[in-house]
């Protein structure tokens, strides 16, 4: 057998929450290229549809949903739609999140409304998307793959008003280990990627500041920020049979940043 065959996703069905976002769309298209059928769900129905359209234009299979993945009924509707169209669900990638740079407050005064918003966007979306997918995977009895998106901010403080974001990402890393432990008996593996800055619209205004980018890049041993393509290899690995004996792991995709701290 060709060892690269273990990385193929043919016949698998992947629910990408935030599938209209920069990272979610890139991961959906990459998994489709590896053979998976894609179910893209996003608050922005149009952008989820564009992702699905690009997958189909490249010869893959995809459907899309407008959905608020912090709401259980919406997440259940997407999972039911996936099973209705493709007959199964094998993979969930939780790519809803971010927002840190939009609500910067000193830690001692961090306001509750901003805290709740960041927690909803990052932590609750990951919880609700995963619960809906995991229930379907457990019912079907075929195992599955959960892939979360944490951040280097789960490990490293930052001299900016990021209290809620670091708490949310820290919780996502902890839940990755907890779910891995609980759901191993169902054959469901749970892993996370943990990127540093990825060049996406969410962080474009920060990266446009040459001083900010120079400071950032100088702390990264590989001397650059991430690109969405940098996340693809790890996600295909975690989604595929190549990672059958890997669960509860959080892989830094950070150019060596966390290795230096
Ligand atoms: N970009 C980075 O530098 C970086 C670094 C480390 C980790 N990450 C993480 O990677 C993930 C994806 O980031 P990204 O840069 O791809 O962000 P993005 O482009 O904003 O993608 C997130 C997508 O999720 C959608 N969304 C928001 N709330 C939702 C909800 N309740 N239900 C369904 N969809 C919802 C957003 O729609 P709207 O735009 O309409 O709100 C957007 O399309 C986040 O968890 C982020 O924290 C990013």
Ligand 1 pocket mutation, candidates 96, 101, 124, criterion most atoms within 8 A of CB: 96
Give percent above pLDDT 70 in the chain: 100
Query: For the whole model, what pTM was predicted?
Result: 0.98
From 27, 3, 70, 19, select the one nearest 238 (Cα to Cα).
27
- 62 Cβ closer than 6 Å to some ligand 1 atom: no
* Interval 158-180: pLDDT, tens: 989 999 999 999 999 999 999 99
* Interval 13-35: pLDDT, tens: 999 999 999 999 999 999 999 99
Q: Centre a 10 Å sphere on the Cβ of residue 116 and count the other Cβ atoms it contains.
A: 12
Domain ranges of the chain: 3-198+228-254
- 37 Cβ closer than 6 Å to some ligand 1 atom: no
- 198 Cβ closer than 6 Å to some ligand 1 atom: yes
| Per-residue pLDDT at 230 | 98
Burial class (CB in 10 A: 0-12, 13-18, 19+), 141: exposed
- The CATH classification number of 3-198+228-254 equals 3.40.50.720
Computed over every residue of the chain, the mean pLDDT equals 97
* Interval 131-156: pLDDT, tens: 999 999 999 999 999 999 999 999 99
> Is it the case that residue 261 has pLDDT exceeding 90?
no
- 79 Cβ closer than 6 Å to some ligand 1 atom: no
Residues marked as catalytic: 165
Residue 225 — pLDDT band, cuts 50, 70, 90?
very high
């Amino acid at each position: 057998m060709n060892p690269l065959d273990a990385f193929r996703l043919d016949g698998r069905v992947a629910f990408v929450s935030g599938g209209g976002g920069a990272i979610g769309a890139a991961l959906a298209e990459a998994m489709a290229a590896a053979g998976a059928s894609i179910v893209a769900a996003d608050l922005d129905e149009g952008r989820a549809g564009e992702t699905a359209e690009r997958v189909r234009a490249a010869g893959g299979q995809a459907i899309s949903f407008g959905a608020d993945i912090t709401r259980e009924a919406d997440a259940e509707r997407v999972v039911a739609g996936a099973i209705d169209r493709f007959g199964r669900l094998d993979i969930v990638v939780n790519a809803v999140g971010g927002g840190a740079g939009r609500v910067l407050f000193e830690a001692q005064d961090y306001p509750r409304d901003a805290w709740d918003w960041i927690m909803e966007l990052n932590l609750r979306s990951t919880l609700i998307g995963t619960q809906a997918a995991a229930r379907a995977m457990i019912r079907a009895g075929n195992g599955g793959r959960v892939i979360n998106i944490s951040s280097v901010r789960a490990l490293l403080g930052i001299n900016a008003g990021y209290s809620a974001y670091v708490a949310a990402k820290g919780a996502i890393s902890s839940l990755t280990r907890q779910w891995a432990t609980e759901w191993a008996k169902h054959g469901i593996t749970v892993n996370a990627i943990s990127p540093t800055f990825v060049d996406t619209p969410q962080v474009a205004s920060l990266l446009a500041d040459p001083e900010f980018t120079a400071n950032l890049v100088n702390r990264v041993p590989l001397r650059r920020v991430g690109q969405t393509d940098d996340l693809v290899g790890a996600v295909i690995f975690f989604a595929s049979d190549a990672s059958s004996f890997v669960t509860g792991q959080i892989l830094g995709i950070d150019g060596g940043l966390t290795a230096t701290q």
